[in-house]
Each structure stands twice: as C-alpha cells, then as structure tokens.
A = this chain, B = another copy of it.
Amino acid sequence: MKKHGYKGMLVVVEGTDFAGKSTQIELLKKYLECQAFGVVVSEWKSSDLIASVIDDAKDRNLFNANTFSLMYAADFAYRMENHVIPSLEAGFVVLMDRYTYTAYARDVVRGVKPAWVRKLYDYAPVPDLTFYLDLPVKSLMKRIIAAQGFDYYESGRDIGFSTDFYESFKIYQTKILEEYSKMVDEYGFVKVDGNKSIEDIHEFIKDKTQKLLKTKFE
C-alpha cells in the first residue's frame, strides 16, 4: 500500500463488531459537515452488486476461506473504484467503517495466509488516519447479548471452534482481537479505549482529525 496524493482525506475507523464504529463515524461526519467539509461514508460490504451474493452464500454456508476472501476483496475494490477514490479525487473527507484491516483479521483467523490477503489489497491507498476502537472481549460479550444475541458469522461458527454460540463467539472474537493488536504498530493505528464514553471517544477522535485537517487543508 502507498500514501495517496489525492486532494481529499481518508479516515478509517476499525474495530470488532459492537466496538462503536458506526456511532463514532456518524458523530465525526456531523462535526466535519458543520465545518463545511464534504463528507462521504463507506461501509464494509455495501456495494450493490456483490453484497447480495456474499449474503446469499453466507445463508447457505457455501464458501470457504479463499472464496470469501476474494469476494470481500472484490466488493472492496468495487467500492474503492466507484465511490471512494472519485470522492478523494474531488477533495472529500472519506470516512470508512472498516478498511482492509478487517479482512486481514477475519481472513487470517479463517486460515488464509497473512501475506496472501495483504496482497489482494495492496493497490489500496494508506489512510491518513486509522482509529482502532479497542474493546476487550468481556465488554463485547455484554454489548452483543444486550443488543441482538449471537450471529452465526460474528461468532465464527463457520470455523467450528465450538458448537456453543457463547463459547464460539468468545474464542473467535479473542482471535480477531489478537490479529488487530498485532496490526497496531504494523499500520500505525491510533488506538482508542472502546470502554470510554461515546462523548469522550468522540472528543478524542475529533481532536486528532482536526489536527490532521489543519496540516492537510491549511
């Protein structure tokens, strides 16, 4: 991956499910818009064409690790080419809910080679800022039980760690967190304590982003 030379700015919010990513992106979006920046949000697995195929395959538990990896990579490439890169060229601030790092974590836990999955995304630009919402498994468990219960894939049930949803979720998310923590230094994540209040986290993210905006646009 290379530093980009686009007019706009690329800000990524990474983290496990229920770490609070979409809440923080929504708040940051409003904050930036109040300063008259053009803001675009792009979410993991959201391209019209490919997302339905991925969901269909998930429903039927059809894919194994390599295919899944390639499907997500295709979806990502599609979004980058049709939405993210044109927005960056036009000078927008692009906020991304998950980036390539999500694939690095999930695919590797599913048995794909780290170097291989990184190669799939090596054309993608390095973000100007990557916030990593770090939430321990214990807190994550509480949030998911309160919110919706366990999803098959979020629990890593497809991998076969355990037939028990609770156990499987715990093992899976612990492994995902291990992968993320390996990436903190590798990719220069700005680590944020996900157990802090929504307001505190927003304040922190806002300040860091504001500093970068100054160096970039002033």
Contact = CB atoms under 8 A, between A and B. Distances in A.
A198 interface: no
A67 B53 contact: no
Interface in A48-91: 49-50, 53, 56-57, 62-64, 66-67, 70-71, 73-74, 77-78, 81-82
A190 B56 CA distance: 40
Given A71-B74, A74-B71, A74-B74, A123 B66 contact: yes
Contacts of A50: 53, 71
Contacts of A62: 49, 78, 82
Q: Is the interface of A mostly helix, strand, loop or mixed?
A: helix
A43 interface: no
Contacts of A67: 74, 77-78, 81
A120 interface: yes
Identical copies in the complex: 2
Contact of A81 (B56, B64, B71): B64
Contact of A70 (B56, B77, B116, B122): B77
Interface in A94-152: 116, 119-120, 122-123
Interface residues of A, number: 23
Contact of A120 (B57, B64, B70, B123): B70
A144 to B, nearest CB: 29
Which of A49, A70, A81 has the most chain B CB atoms closer than 10 A to its own CB? A70
Contact of A49 (B49, B57, B78): B57
Contacts of A57: 49
Interface centre among A49, A74, A78 (most CB of B within 10 A): A74
14 contacts: A49-B53, A50-B53, A50-B71, A53-B53, A62-B78, A66-B81, A66-B123, A67-B74, A67-B77, A67-B81, A70-B73, A70-B77, A71-B74, A116-B119
